[in-house]
Amino acid sequence: MTAALTIRTLGEVAYAPAVAAMQRFTTERNADTADEIWLLEHPPVFTLGTNAANEHVLDAGSVPVVQTDRGGQVTWHGPGQLVVYLLLDLKRLKLSVKSLVHGMEAAVIAMLHDYGIEARCEAGAPGVYVDGDKIASLGVRVKRGRCYHGLAVNVSNDPDAFSGINPCGYQGLKTLRISDLADPADTAEVATKLLPHLLRELQLEGAEVTNSQSEWQPV
């Protein structure tokens, strides 16, 4: 049977409602539920993963700090950053968590190559890096073989956005954006370039795809 996939382009979405919607979707889905990919941006927010230490928030200022249920440490989301949430049945796709993480990283690296940017993974530090500086982060949660959360790619966000934290729990880790290295791009363009690589790497290349583009509504 051909896999089904819904790709939702949702615009700007507040962080907490998006997480609540992902949790609800994952809890309520069944063996026949189509997988979904959500493409969006968030208003500025610092998020703390399940392994996060509060001391890595150095100066949040007016930016909200939210505890969440993905893996990993502390990161920033906000305008100019592409967020990709993957709501996938890993058992049905025959994907291990390790393969999921590798697939996300490989897709981002391939997309950056399309921009002429040479990127790589770093051993023991999930995400994608350019000369040691982080350009994309990832964190997932898996329940009963189904995942949610996903990845974030810095496109044209505020260059000082991460200055209030130790990104991903690493003191002195520098972050950079696609716009630092290539012609200015917006998140919509980056999403268009990234999706084919994601579908290939996550065993979804032959899926029957439905595209949905609208302002945020709880899913």
Active-site positions read: 168
- CA 67, 73, 74, 78 dihedral sign is negative
Question: Cα separation of 187 and 21, whole Å?
Answer: 22
Q: How many residues does the chain have?
A: 219
Contact 85, 37 (CB under 8 A): yes
DSSP string, 106-121: HHHHHHHHHTT---EE
Question: Cα separation of 69 and 85, whole Å?
Answer: 13
Instruction: Find tokens 């997480």 and name the residue.
Output: 19
